[in-house]
Amino acid sequence: MKNTVAITDQNIFQTYSRYPVVLVKGKGSKLWDAQGNEYLDFLSGIAVCNLGHCHPAVVRAAQAQLGRLIHVSNFFYTEPQAALSELLTRHSFADRVFFCNSGAEANESALKLARKYSQDRGHKKRFEVITMHDSFHGRTFATLSATAQKKFHKGFEPLLPGFRYVPFNDIAALKRAVTPHTCAILLEPIQGEGGVNIPDASYLKKVRQLCDEHGLLLIFDEVQVGMGRTGKLFAHEHYRVKPDIMTLAKALAGGLPAGAMLARKHIAESFTPGTHASTFGGNPVAMAAGAAVMKTLLQGDVLNNCRMMGSYFMNGLMALKKRYPAIIREVRGKGLIIGMELNRDGREIVRQCLRQGIIINCTMDKILRFVPPLIISRREIDHCLSVLESIFTKL
């Protein structure tokens, strides 16, 4: 273990503050470290392993594909790409999919498409995209510029021009920010990194109306909250609002790197051959895994479990809030993305949980974020709640 930590720290960029734990194995909701210690995973690789670690359907599909064909260029067709694209379009608002490798790359693609579509329509001066305070869209220059959080910008200025920021869930501010230069509005239907922020029931509908009134594209970043995380396949389904473009990544391929940008046909047509590309985008192994993820989610049991366990967990966390009002300010979430806002720094609580075998996360310093695999059980939730309570009692 020491060797792995030392070698990593010596040789890899220090962009992550890592816990001194070397994880070697995962199954379902559990992870094991190099010493054989067991952990219950309430983080899922940050909302990636939605079906749990090494889900048999994902492993089977990826293994079979690995032995057949690992990579070819996008100059050719492959069966796994066709299969996953069809599953995605059949079960979403979209007609076309562009495959890439990550959330940032999917958002980068969406931002490029929004500009290209506007230019193709003759709107040469429409290039601005409005995004939300506390959003998170990625670390490339365009997605970093889209991310309205100063702490991520520091040291990288000047950012890419063409972004305006407004508060999330504030339709009046959004209306005021629209100018003749606006081409799109980009937002997470539920903010993840920004602290699990849930919009008012009618907010997204109003955003859709505003886009329709001004001919703007509505882009939903569902990188974190898509693929079943909220109890529906895509988070925007809760609000009965359809975007023009949607981005996915994280849980899309069950832990293999994959991203996707989905759009309606007349918008997708702005990307013609040669306008955009990705060497690894649509990699056959990742696509085979993604098709297995989609089929498993569509079968229904996992989404049902997400909804049931989501409300069970939420009730348990609310009960903790009642018992520890001095520590806990608010609990909010949908399905199995839940944030517990504290009145104090949460990072020490995350470390204490880890020492007791529970992996959770803290975002925005004070918000404990729970994103367990969607197959989590009542017993596992009870265990997490009792560990949390044991920590709160001592505070």
Cβ distance to ligand PLP smaller for residue 223 or 388 = 223
Cβ distance to ligand PLP smaller for residue 248 or 387 = 248
* Interaction of residue 221 with ligand PLP, rule CB under 6 A: yes
**Angle between helices 378-394 and 347-355 in degrees, nearest 10:** 120
Pick the stretch among 177-185, 186-194, 274-282, 342-350 that binds ligand PLP (CB under 6 A). 186-194
* Interaction of residue 238 with ligand PLP, rule CB under 6 A: no
* Interaction of residue 234 with ligand PLP, rule CB under 6 A: no
Q: What is the bridge-based pairing of β-strands 182-187 and 163-166?
A: unpaired
Pick the stretch among 34-42, 131-139, 150-158, 316-324 that binds ligand PLP (CB under 6 A). 131-139
CA distance 385 to 389: 6
Q: Which residues contact 361 (CB under 8 A, 6 or more apart)?
A: 42, 43, 46, 350, 368, 369, 371
Q: Which position among 41, 134, 221, 244 bears the catalytic label? A: 221
DSSP for 334-364? ETTEEEEEESS--HHHHHHHHHTTEE-EEET
* Interaction of residue 220 with ligand PLP, rule CB under 6 A: no
* Interaction of residue 138 with ligand PLP, rule CB under 6 A: yes
Pick the stretch among 29-37, 70-78, 210-218, 220-228 that binds ligand PLP (CB under 6 A). 220-228
* Interaction of residue 103 with ligand PLP, rule CB under 6 A: yes
Min CB(104)–ligand PLP separation in Å: 3
**Tokens found for residue 263:** 């759009």
Nearest Cα to Cα of residue 293 among 58, 26, 60, 44: 58
Out of 196, 249, 291, 297, name the contact with ligand PLP by CB under 6 A: 249
Q: Which position among 168, 250, 313, 334 bears the catalytic label? A: 250
CA distance 333 to 342: 15
Q: Is 359:31 a contact under the CB 8 Å cutoff?
A: yes
* Interaction of residue 223 with ligand PLP, rule CB under 6 A: yes
Nearest Cα to Cα of residue 151 among 308, 355, 365, 390: 365
156 among known catalytic residues: no
Q: How many residues does the chain have?
A: 395
Size of residue set near ligand PLP by CB under 6 A: 15
Name the DSSP letter for residue 170: -
Min CB(221)–ligand PLP separation in Å: 5
Q: Which uninterrupted H or E stretch holds 10?
A: helix 2-11
Cβ distance to ligand PLP smaller for residue 276 or 344 = 276
Out of 145, 224, 230, 296, name the contact with ligand PLP by CB under 6 A: 224
* Interaction of residue 192 with ligand PLP, rule CB under 6 A: yes
Q: Is 262:290 a contact under the CB 8 Å cutoff?
A: no
CA distance 340 to 369: 6
2 among known catalytic residues: no
221 among known catalytic residues: yes
* Interaction of residue 102 with ligand PLP, rule CB under 6 A: yes
Min CB(161)–ligand PLP separation in Å: 21
Residues at the interface with ligand PLP (CB under 6 A): 46, 102-104, 107, 136-138, 188, 192-193, 221, 223-224, 249
